[in-house]
Structures are given as C-alpha cells and as structure tokens.
Amino acid sequence: MRQSINVIKISGHHLDDESLLRQFARIVARADEQLVIVHGGGVEITQLQRKLGIAPRYVDGLRVTDADSLALVEMALCGTVNKRLVRHLLAAGVDAQGLSGVDRGLVRARQMQHDQVDMGFTGTVVSVRAQILCELFALGVTPVIAPVSLGETSNFNLNADPVAGAIAAALGAEAVVYISNVAGVQVQGEIVPTLTRRQAESLIASAVISGGMIPKVQSALDVLSSGVPRAVITDLAGWATGGGTSFVAEENEGMVSEG
C-alpha cells in the first residue's frame, strides 16, 4: 500500500524565526505520511531589494520580477532560505534535501501574462516532473523546494502557493497544507473545520472572508480544481493537532480525515 503524500507550504512569516523553524522541523520529524515541503520567502526578498535600492513592485498582490530582482530571488530562495530550512530539518532528524524547481527540470514555467503589465521574470507553472520526487521518496528523503522554476530561456520566480498545488496534483497527493500565521477561517470568532467550495465562495461574497484571507482561500480552492481532494489553511499549532480549516470538493464533504 502506497504511503500517503501531503504537500506542505510554509509561508515566509516562519522562515526567519529560529524558534518557529525548530517547531516546524519537530512536527515534520513526527509525521507518518510522506511530505514534500514548498517554501516562500518574500519577506527576505523584499529586504534584499530595499538594501540594494530596488523598489519592490506588485500587481494584484504578485511580485513583478525584473532581471536584477530575479538574481535576488534566486539568492534568497534557493540559497539562504532553503538552506536554513534544510538545516533545521536535518537537526530534527529529517533526511531533507533542498531543491529548486530548476533542478533536473522539476518545475517548468513560462512568463505570467497580465493585461496591463509586463511581469518580467514572474512565472506560472507549465509542468511538474513528479518522478524526481518519487525517486527521493524511495530513498527516504524529504524534498524541500524553492519555487524558482525553469523556463525555456531563463529561470522564473513563482509564487509558492500554486507551485505547491501543482506538485500535489502531479504526485496524486492527499492534501496541500498551507501553514501561515492564521489558524484557519473564522466565523463569529470560531475556526470553521470544513468548507466546501460553495460555502467558501458564499463567505467571500458576504465579506465574512475578507482582506488577506481571500488569496489564501483562493489558493486552497485552486488546489481542489487541480484534482487534489483536500486543502488546509492552518498555523503550526493547528497542523500539529489536525486543526485548521479543510477545504473539500462537495462530493468529499464529510470524508475529511485529520492530518
């Protein structure tokens, strides 16, 4: 019987906090399922840009990546952030290996298109070479992936959320877990344990889900659209205890398991 696979996306809020990284690594070390970890790192990219006098640019919440910024993205995500995360996992006893989407053509990408703005070296996923990850699984290795990906003539900077979703779909994963600084979707002060697409869209329409939670929920719904049966929004404490908000397709409602 195949070991279940979960893809874990950890946000940049955790990646410069040594205490949170140690906590994350301990949870990974206790996991029963096979994990793939995808990480962001936007905070450190922005800090590097400002130190070097490059003004960060965003369109619809997405970073516009020029050539100079791409070099910083590769430096921060593939270097500093990825190796810091791998170091903490190794210290917790996890046989972790850092990769980017460029390595062995793991994630191929093309330029993101926008009606009004040239997005430069900001990309979208074209394909995932899942066999590379399966080979690492067979060796007992936990892949730790930076979302810099391979284009035809250059590398591209991708948002980590859709990269996590695309990897999960390619692997036939059971779930994508988005770990951030929010415990889940709250309604009247209580975390909602399960939402279907219809319920989530209704909460957005009625402004119960609003602000920065909307893109998090949209990422979870995009995962369902890719064929992955479940997406979870939670924080570290919720992940450790099977908490947070699980998003499921209507046909899977009532079939949510903890994890």
Residue pLDDT, tens place only, 4-43 = 999 999 987 788 889 999 999 999 999 999 999 999 988 8
Percent of the chain with pLDDT over 90: 76
Confidence (pLDDT) at 258: 40
108 sits in which H/E element: strand 107-111
Sorted by sequence, the CB contacts under 8 Å of residue 93 that are 6+ apart come out as 29
Q: How confident is residue 176, by pLDDT bands cut at 50, 70 and 90?
A: very high
pLDDT digits (tens, 9 = 90+) for 209-256: 988 888 889 999 999 999 999 999 999 999 999 999 999 987 555 444
Q: How confident is residue 139, by pLDDT bands cut at 50, 70 and 90?
A: very high
pLDDT digits (tens, 9 = 90+) for 79-104: 999 999 999 999 999 999 999 999 99
d(CA 128, CA 133): 10
pLDDT at 60 over 90: no
User: At 37, which amino acid appears?
Assistant: I
Burial 169-203 (b: 16+ CB within 10 A, else e): bbbebbbbbbbbebbbbeeeeebbebbbbebbeeb
What is residue 174's three-state secondary structure? coil
Q: Name beta bridge partners: 187.
A: 190
Confidence (pLDDT) at 181: 87
pLDDT at 196 over 60: yes
Q: Residue 12: CA atoms inside 13 Å, Cβ hemisphere, count?
A: 17
- The residue length of the chain stands at 259
Phi and psi (nearest 5°) for 78? -75, -25
| Helices 130-138 and 160-171, axial angle in degrees (round to 10) | 70
pLDDT at 257 over 90: no
Confidence (pLDDT) at 256: 43
pLDDT at 50 over 70: yes
Confidence (pLDDT) at 251: 57
Percent of the chain with pLDDT over 70: 96
Q: Residue 204: CA atoms inside 13 Å, Cβ hemisphere, count?
A: 16
What is residue 122's three-state secondary structure? strand
User: Tokens in use for 213?
Assistant: 């939670």
User: Tokens in use for 241?
Assistant: 């205890």
Confidence (pLDDT) at 98: 98
User: Tokens in use for 122?
Assistant: 């900001």
C-alpha 138, offset from chain centre: 23
Q: Name beta bridge partners: 245.
A: 233
Q: pTM for the full model?
A: 0.92
Confidence (pLDDT) at 255: 44
Phi and psi (nearest 5°) for 31? -65, 140
d(CA 20, CA 58): 28
Confidence (pLDDT) at 1: 56
Count of CB atoms situated within 10 Å of the CB of 31? 15
